[in-house]
Amino acid sequence: MNKTSLAGRVAAAATGLLTVAALTLPASAAGEVNIYSYRQPELIEPLLDAFTEKTGIKTNVIFADKGLAQRMQAEGENSPADILMTVDIGRLDGAKALGVTQAVDSEIINANIPAEFRDPEGHWFGLTTRARVVFASKERVTQDAITYEELADPKWKGRICTRSGQHPYNIGLFASVVAHKGEKAAEEWLAGLRDNLARKPAGNDRGQVQGIYSGECDIGLGNTYYMGKMQTNEKEPEQKEWANSAKILFPTSAEGGTHVNISGVVMAKYAPNHDEALKLMEYLSSAEAQQIYAKSNFEYPVKPGVEASELVRSWGSFTPDDLPLSEISAHRKTASELVDKVGYDDGPAS
């Protein structure tokens, strides 16, 4: 698999938008797929290697943690991108809103991926899911069940840690609360959650588990796969200690199950290698690919009947919220406005 040729031609990928002139990769190369990825190359390498072995189609990847959809927009018809791989419904819908995607109508994809994990107009579909859960201290939290509503209960005052309320992962959760309960109730809930914070929101999801380990807080919000990353981290063994101090609680709500978000994929509007890209997308929806991808990222397959890895299954089972992600995504702007309105990132008000 040629994962360096494209990346080498766009060495500035992680630092900002590239001009069209900076891209020297031929717009179309037979038997290849050009991938723009928000996921680090090593996370998708096993998946792409299996695809190349199966089909003979090579893959070229560039990675950046932001700005890829905007780059595709700037490149326009000259973009070499065939597909965009990303995380979070917000980024998937955001790419569609920028006009850099095209609809895909594939019987294979539609058969493999449940409708709640597909754009109604066919512009994106999910590859894996991750649950937005509560990490809880094994020593200081005795309960083994919790609701999202309970996070605003004063009994947790000074005991909760989260990352910024404006982070896409939290906005997704907050948008689901708006979708289920309405704007007014969501604002009241968010204010209650804010006042239960142990500190101003900071760090990433792993940092919330570190806060539990240090005793700074008793519970924190995070995505499930971070537990897997910490439990298997050989380079930073202290993260194993953080993980060992916490357990996963799968919250529910009065209206539904546990909030889940997705990693997903879109077809670029001007994909120069359309047929090869479609073959890759169809492969990504297959049971084989779902299992490889979910295992390497400690996530849950979206294709029914495909099991998560043994480690992921060890965390317990849960019932995902069945509200379509496209409906939740429609409330992201309101959720973001509420975060600012209640001063969530300023920390507790009292």
DSSP characters over 247-281 = EEE--B-SS-SB-EEEEEEEEETT-TTHHHHHHHH
Quick one: which of 191, 180, 189, 222 has its CA closest to 328?
Answer: 180
CB 13 within 8 A of CB 66: no
pLDDT of amino acid 321: 93
- Using CA atoms, how far apart are residues 285 and 112, in angstroms rounded to an integer? 6
- Token pair belonging to 73: 């927009």
pLDDT of amino acid 9: 38
Rounded alpha-carbon distances, angstroms, from residue 185 to 67, 179, 190: 34, 10, 9
pLDDT of amino acid 18: 36
Burial class of residue 41 (count of CB atoms within 10 Å of its CB; 0-12, 13-18, 19+): middle
CA atoms within 13 A on the CB side of 57: 23
pLDDT of amino acid 261: 95
pLDDT of amino acid 41: 85
CB 206 within 8 A of CB 298: no
Rg (CA), the chain: 20
> What is the overall mean pLDDT for the chain?
91
- Angle at which helix 41-55 crosses helix 287-297, to 10 degrees, equals 160
- Token pair belonging to 147: 């609701």
- Using CA atoms, how far apart are residues 158 and 169, in angstroms rounded to an integer? 22
Place of tokens 């891209």: 23
- Entry field: residues in the chain: 350
- Token pair belonging to 292: 């490889």
- Using CA atoms, how far apart are residues 302 and 300, in angstroms rounded to an integer? 6
Binding residues for Fe cation: 225-226
What domains, with CATH codes, occur in the chain?
Answer: 5-128+262-305 (3.40.190.10), 129-259+315-346 (3.40.190.10)
Binding residues: 225-226
- Using CA atoms, how far apart are residues 160 and 278, in angstroms rounded to an integer? 44
From start to end of the chain, where are the E strands?
32-37, 58-63, 83-87, 101-102, 125-137, 160-161, 219-223, 246-249, 260-268, 300-301
Q: Which stretches in the chain have pLDDT values below 50? A: 1-29
0.95 exceeded by pTM: no
Rounded alpha-carbon distances, angstroms, from residue 88 to 39, 210, 265: 11, 24, 10
